């Protein structure tokens, strides 16, 4: 009987495997299949994720950076075999604004937005020529909609360190969000991961993973340059916080210290000096 059960469970897990597209602007992923537990990370609107396991109304998924968590099944569109993921081919617009409203028609006055999506969201473009200030897009649920051209770019490019410093400041004041990976609210490592991703480099999700990642090289405190990543905690192996160095002794980070927002702090402040365990520079 036990052998039959194990075979049935293995078959169920195999059937659960596949891919899905995220339908919510920001999808919380939990450590267990219930919203009454902690958020471990988030998936962004239109993102294609890997299905690991299904259980009742919950699906265990992995984001493109291979981070697992449980998400509400209703918030996912399961792809058929060989069906391409959303915005994986054809003309794609990438959201450049901190947030962007998407409308049912090419007007900001007739109706409320059908959805508001965060920075980095990728959208399938249906028509980018017929309207001077509008793009017609296909949403992840198949609906046609419109977004203003000023909110997106059709030709994204890798940003320089100088670009990243200016980009980072656009998010000042956004709320700190545990597990946050989007402009709806970042946590510390979600913020630095986003910034390095904008330079064309994919680093691990969590601060301790980033600090020990083979794609990083150590940097002495006296040799810090703008763009270096700073790590804080008990040790590098147990780093619990990270920030992006701006230069002149300042760094930008998503933190709950004093004000729970994305903020600029000074490395020589007693609080941060006491917690500083090292700096890293990603290999570009």
3-state helix, strand, coil in the chain (%, to 5): 20, 40, 40
Residue 247 bridge partners (DSSP): 250
Q: Which two tokens stand for residue 176?
A: 């700190």
Q: Which residues, at least 6 apart from 68, have a Cβ–Cβ distance to it below 8 Å? A: 29, 40, 52, 60, 61, 62
Catalytic site residue from 253, 257, 259, 271: 253
Q: Does 188 participate in catalysis according to the annotation?
A: yes
Would you say 99 and 171 are in contact if contact means Cβ atoms under 8 Å apart? no
Catalytic site residue from 111, 129, 157, 241: 241
Q: Does 259 participate in catalysis according to the annotation?
A: no
Which uninterrupted H or E stretch holds 282? strand 276-282
Count Cβ atoms within 10 A of the Cβ of residue 47 and give its class: 0-12 exposed, 13-18 middle, 19 or more buried.
buried
Catalytic site residue from 188, 257, 259, 271: 188
CA 65 to chain centre: 9
Q: Does 241 participate in catalysis according to the annotation?
A: yes
Query: How many other CB atoms sit within 10 Å of the CB of residue 17?
Result: 11
Active site residues: 188, 241, 253
């Amino acid at each position: 009987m036990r052998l039959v059960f194990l075979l049935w469970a293995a078959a169920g897990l195999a059937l659960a495997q596949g891919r899905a597209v995220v339908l919510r602007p920001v999808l919380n992923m939990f450590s267990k299949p219930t919203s009454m537990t902690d958020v471990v990370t988030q998936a962004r609107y239109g993102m294609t994720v890997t299905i690991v396991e299904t259980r009742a109304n919950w699906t265990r998924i992995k984001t493109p950076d291979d981070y697992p968590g449980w998400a509400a099944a209703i918030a996912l569109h399961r792809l058929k075999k060989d069906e391409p993921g959303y915005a994986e081919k054809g003309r794609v617009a990438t959201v450049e604004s901190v947030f962007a409203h998407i409308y049912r028609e090419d007007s900001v006055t007739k109706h409320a937005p059908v959805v508001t999506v965060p920075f980095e969201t990728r959208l399938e473009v249906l028509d980018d020529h017929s309207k001077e200030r509008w793009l017609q897009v296909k949403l992840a649920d198949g609906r046609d909609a419109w977004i203003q051209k000023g909110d997106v770019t059709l030709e994204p490019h890798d940003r320089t360190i100088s670009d990243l410093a200016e980009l980072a400041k656009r998010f000042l004041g956004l709320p700190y969000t545990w597990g946050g990976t989007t402009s709806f609210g970042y946590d510390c490592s979600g913020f630095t991961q986003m910034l390095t991703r904008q330079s064309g480099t994919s680093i691990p999700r969590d601060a301790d993973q980033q600090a020990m990642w083979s794609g990083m090289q150590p940097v002495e405190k006296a040799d810090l340059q703008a763009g270096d990543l700073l790590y804080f905690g008990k040790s590098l192996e147990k780093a619990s916080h990270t920030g992006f160095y701006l230069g002149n002794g300042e760094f930008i980070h998503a933190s709950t210290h004093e004000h729970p927002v994305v903020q600029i702090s000074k490395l020589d402040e007693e609080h941060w000096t006491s917690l500083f365990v090292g700096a890293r520079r990603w290999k570009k």
